[in-house]
Amino acid sequence: MEVNPGFLFTETHMPCSTPDITDTLRYDRPTIVLHWTTAFLVLLQFALGETWNWPAKPVHHLMVVAHLTVGILLTVIMAFRIVWRLTKGRHLSDLLRPVDRVCALGAEYTLYGLLLAEILLGYFWRWGAGQTMSFFGLLIPSPFARFPAETVTWLHTLHEWNAWLIMGFATGHGAAALFHQFVLKDKVLGRMLPQCFLLRQ
């Protein structure tokens, strides 16, 4: 009797405990690219801001210019990300439980709000102190008059503390994704990973 090879393959294949992430469940490519680009830029900004006082003046100046340049890039990325999220971007999976959906949306909107606040605080702090923004060396002057010294100090303090708050929420966000991936094993993390990374798993 002739045996169908396809039948043997089907019988010997062991199904996973949870379904694989498919293209219908994963986020779209622009959303994934924007997400990881934002994460990289935020980490870079935090590192620059926390260490630019360590080196001597020439390197310090370059780090400040880099921080300002990345800040402007992050402004554009966040603007495009919000527009994409509200129009064509793929949203959360309908397979999520209501409590997971609430927590995920709460974390997402909180991070969006903190990032937007950090961007605005950066502009107001820089321009309020009477200094120019710099984009790859291109100077952008302040559109308004210089703020009082007390206001500038207050903006600086808020900018610094908000940066730590962002890092705290981002760390919690990453820890939750890893918890889903390795403890709950529901493969939620795979929805935001690039396709090439998933193929290597």
* pLDDT at residue 94 in the model: 59
* pLDDT at residue 165 in the model: 97
Ranking 28-32, 67-71, 87-91, 133-137 by mean pLDDT, the lowest is 87-91
Alpha helices in the chain (DSSP H): 5-12, 29-51, 57-86, 98-128, 149-179, 195-200
* pLDDT at residue 193 in the model: 84
Of residues 88 and 97, which shows the higher confidence score?
Answer: 88
* pLDDT at residue 22 in the model: 43
* Contact between residue 84 and residue 31 where contact means Cβ atoms under 8 Å apart: yes
Q: Could you give the CA distance from residue 153 to residue 145 in angstroms, rounded to a whole number?
A: 16
* pLDDT at residue 107 in the model: 84
Instruction: Please determine, for residue 54, whether its predicted confidence score (pLDDT) is greater than 80.
Output: yes
Instruction: Please determine, for residue 45, whether its predicted confidence score (pLDDT) is greater than 90.
Output: yes
Q: Could you give the CA distance from residue 137 to residue 27 in angstroms, rounded to a whole number?
A: 36
- Reported confidence tier of residue 3, pLDDT bands at 50, 70, 90: very low
- Reported confidence tier of residue 198, pLDDT bands at 50, 70, 90: low
* pLDDT at residue 15 in the model: 40
Q: Which two tokens stand for residue 47?
A: 């590192």
Q: Which CATH number fits domain 26-189: 1.10.3720.10, 1.20.950.20, 3.40.190.10, 1.10.10.60?
A: 1.20.950.20
* pLDDT at residue 16 in the model: 39
Instruction: Please determine, for residue 41, whether its predicted confidence score (pLDDT) is greater than 70.
Output: yes
Q: Average of pLDDT values for 131-139?
A: 94
Position of tokens 């396809």? 6
Q: Average of pLDDT values for 120-144?
A: 95
* pLDDT at residue 105 in the model: 79
Model-wide pTM > 0.85: no
